A and B are shown apart, each in its own frame.
Chain A
């Protein structure tokens, strides 16, 4: 089976150590995590992990089941590339003098729909959100001007459908309360 890009979402209780419990599920199978983001979810008190991997569907199905059976995990799902709306955020730090020496950098930033987050005496920080290829394209164009620091966030993604996994979880929780 071919490896492909998957986004795994995990809805959990907010519990110390749960990150380790989830990541060891991947470590055990020597699966590399491309990125992992934790945040609040749409449900109060429920946290969410968004994990990006490139793996075979067969492996992803098994890993997701193993994650879902962990005590503090409410629900784990996986999505193929076309089943999610996804973004990454990138920050690029370059020297301020590259702006004062010409209009090129400003043009690049404008063309990439990026923006200046801050302009300091010594450096500026540019922000760009988008797909990996878009943040990469901006990187490539800025590189000749000297990138002093660069960071890209993990992939965040929501399901390309009316409701996310939270809908099921809410009804699960309501059932339990009644």
Chain B
């Protein structure tokens, strides 16, 4: 079998050699990578690593989740809030398979993770031993890289590679599977960080002719329109991006993962793209003459029907992953590279322009959307509470300076539409995979990854019940997670589709729920419930100002819908306001 023989090109001074167990080498490798927190769940095949962790509790804090799925979503939340690699530990078999949803989520949302799983002893591989699964085979389609370690000597180099691959280029999840015998074996430990793999290119070459072509196209555009995604955040290119759009007054709209890269109140921030995005950005996608996509991948939830998507526009695509170029939308001018490097090169060549008439179009669309949708959502005239008004008042309480973590569904769309942001890395949501159950554990991870910030977990009654056990982890860690349950007693998004497209046949979407107040109390949380509008303001003040974690449940309209909406299969310009 092949071994890892690829040594880093430039070696940092290796740590002093010492003979230790493979398990301790795992912990020492994590420390060498600057890891001070890991999320996981122990079990037979990973026990030697947990035993080694016992000696390093002061340096490496282990968060004991209540389910491996909780552990990995927490690691994702941690990574997204801190910008560091999230680390997750699990045992073999069910421990490892319980990670898969989170790994798939991290893969599609480009989240840097290193997952370490225990495996049965190498002599038992393939024998269907107790808690044996082929986690390398299972995780291969959803990892950026994975590797099985069967001898202790491989541990430092495998982990060094894992961290390098997870965080470099387009980030993603990596899984390292370590057989139990390798954890017990002794090795002469020394750690060399990896910064080079000969078969792997972090970033594609930047072609200056494409930079020039892109700038020329923008300079000659009458109706340029910028779409930005998480690529801006992952590249730490928020400032470069701002300078880029400001130089020529380019209206900019965000994907759900690009949210918070540009503050909400920025005059060029024209709102959200896609299925439940804002009216202007969707409608005007089909009227712009130059479409500039920055660090986004034209997901179908953004584009709607591709045959009716921006056919009139010249498309410029700034992208770090060459496989994304022309994948969904043809790029007339592909600008490959890291946005932090390519954006300033383009900005330098841009000519100032006011684009006043074009920007006024977005304003007009915005006014119409306010009149038709937003006004009623944020200030409902009837008694039933709306999700939008809750988020609207939440904004006043946080000043837009909270990390908003959401689950998946109607509340997610409402939170992303109406939450306000003043700084980046503040919106954490499962975008690509749409993983219900993501929110609560991700919020826990975010709270531990950004301990100085207020973390609000906006969650629905459906998704909350998928990972509700992590309330116990929140209690045990004393993480300051503020859980805002928007309870409509329905799987609201599915119900909305059933209403609109399945003739109101509400098949298996009504939830007969437990008493969430009693449940949260059982998890030893401060709780409150809002059933009427006159309680809302005070309850949200208490929610935000109260020290530590808090569970606030707001009973919202059972059959409210999220609008605007681009129905599945329709073009973006066919967006419905009602």
Bound complex: CA of A12 vs CA of B199, how far in Å? 8
Are B323 and A20 touching (Cβ within 8 A)?
no
Q: Cβ of A110 < 8 Å from any Cβ of B?
A: no
Contact partner of B323 among A28, A65, A72, CB < 8 A?
A65
Contact partner of B199 among A16, A62, A71, CB < 8 A?
A71
In A45-79, which residues have CB < 8 Å from any B CB?
A: 61-62, 65-66, 68-69, 71-74
Are B148 and A16 touching (Cβ within 8 A)?
yes
CB contact under 8 A between A13 and B199, given known A69-B323, A71-B165: yes
Residue of B nearest to A25 (CB): B141
Residue of B nearest to A13 (CB): B199
CB contact under 8 A between A68 and B197, given known A16-B1, A20-B140, A24-B140: no
Q: Cβ of A14 < 8 Å from any Cβ of B?
A: yes
Q: Cβ of A21 < 8 Å from any Cβ of B?
A: yes
Bound complex: CA of A69 vs CA of B320, how far in Å? 11
Are A176 and B327 touching (Cβ within 8 A)?
no
CB contact under 8 A between A68 and B323, given known A21-B140, A24-B141: yes
* 1/0 contact string of B152-165 vs chain A (CB within 8 Å): 00000000000001
Q: Cβ of A1 < 8 Å from any Cβ of B?
A: no
Size bracket, chain A contacts: 20 to 34
CB-defined contacts of B198 to chain A, threshold 8 Å: 74, 172-173, 176
Residue of B nearest to A58 (CB): B326
Residue of A nearest to B325 (CB): A65
In B55-79, which residues have CB < 8 Å from any A CB?
A: none
CB contact under 8 A between A16 and B2, given known A62-B327, A69-B323, A176-B196: yes
Interface majority SS on B: helix, strand, loop or mixed? loop
Are B2 and A15 touching (Cβ within 8 A)?
yes
Residue of A nearest to B145 (CB): A71
CB-defined contacts of B200 to chain A, threshold 8 Å: 71-72
Nearest Cβ on chain B to A38's Cβ, whole angstroms: 13
Are A17 and B326 touching (Cβ within 8 A)?
no
* 1/0 contact string of B185-201 vs chain A (CB within 8 Å): 00000000000111110
Q: Cβ of B137 < 8 Å from any Cβ of A?
A: yes
Bound complex: CA of A125 vs CA of B426, how far in Å? 69
* 1/0 contact string of B324-358 vs chain A (CB within 8 Å): 01110000000000000000000000000000000
Residue of B nearest to A67 (CB): B323
Are B196 and A69 touching (Cβ within 8 A)?
no
CB contact under 8 A between A74 and B323, given known A15-B2, A16-B1, A176-B9: no
Nearest Cβ on chain A to B506's Cβ, whole angstroms: 33
Are B140 and A69 touching (Cβ within 8 A)?
no
CB-defined contacts of B199 to chain A, threshold 8 Å: 12-13, 71-74
Nearest Cβ on chain A to B134's Cβ, whole angstroms: 10
19 contacts between A and B (CB under 8 A): A12-B199, A13-B2, A13-B199, A16-B1, A16-B2, A16-B148, A17-B136, A17-B148, A24-B140, A27-B141, A28-B141, A62-B326, A65-B325, A69-B321, A69-B322, A71-B144, A71-B165, A176-B9, A176-B198
